[in-house]
């Protein structure tokens, strides 16, 4: 049986779990990495977001669907790395906000693609 992106998206519809992730830029000359629709990794390391490769920190309840939107809106040169799974929306929002805060404390600014990170409009 072939397992597709649409199958994965369908499995996560209505999910009560939150997936906190970061986007990192991948080498645009690596055509194999660029072509993968499922370029999502899972690295459950609380400090994963605190390296200089992080360009965005976000949360979702459907990683494959969200990653597809990122690739269509931000470009194909990104990989998603999940670094924390949460039990509900409030917990996920807390972990996301804490991760952005920790990143800003380390580098003096929010990740490059977190446009609302310097406003009260949201992360």
pLDDT, tens only, 73-104: 666 678 888 899 898 889 999 999 999 999 99
In a domain, 61, yes or no: yes
51 occurs within a structural domain: yes
Is 82 domain-assigned? yes
Cβ contact 21:82 at 8 Å? yes
DSSP output for 100-112: HHHHHHHHSS--T
Q: Is the residue at 58 inside a domain?
A: yes
pLDDT (mean) for 58-87: 79
How many helices and strands, by DSSP H and E, does the chain display?
4, 4
State the total domains in the chain: 1
121 falls within a domain: no
| Residue 95: inside a domain | yes
- Res 2 pLDDT > 50: no
What global pTM score does this model have?
A: 0.76
Containing structural domain, residue 95: 13-110
In a domain, 70, yes or no: yes
Q: Residue 91 falls within a domain, yes or no?
A: yes
By three-state DSSP, how is residue 24 classified?
Answer: strand
């Amino acid at each position: 049986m072939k397992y597709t992106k649409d199958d994965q998206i369908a499995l996560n519809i209505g999910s009560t779990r939150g997936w906190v992730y970061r986007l990192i830029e991948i080498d645009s000359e690596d055509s194999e990495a660029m072509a993968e629709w499922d370029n999502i990794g899972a690295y459950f390391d609380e400090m994963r977001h605190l390296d200089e490769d992080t360009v965005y920190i976000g949360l979702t309840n459907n990683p494959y669907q969200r990653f597809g939107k990122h690739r269509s809106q931000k470009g194909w040169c990104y990989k998603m790395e999940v670094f924390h799974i949460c039990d509900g929306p409030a917990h996920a929002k807390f972990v996301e906000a804490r991760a952005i805060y920790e990143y800003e404390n380390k580098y003096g600014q929010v990740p490059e693609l977190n446009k609302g990170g310097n406003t009260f409009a949201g992360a």
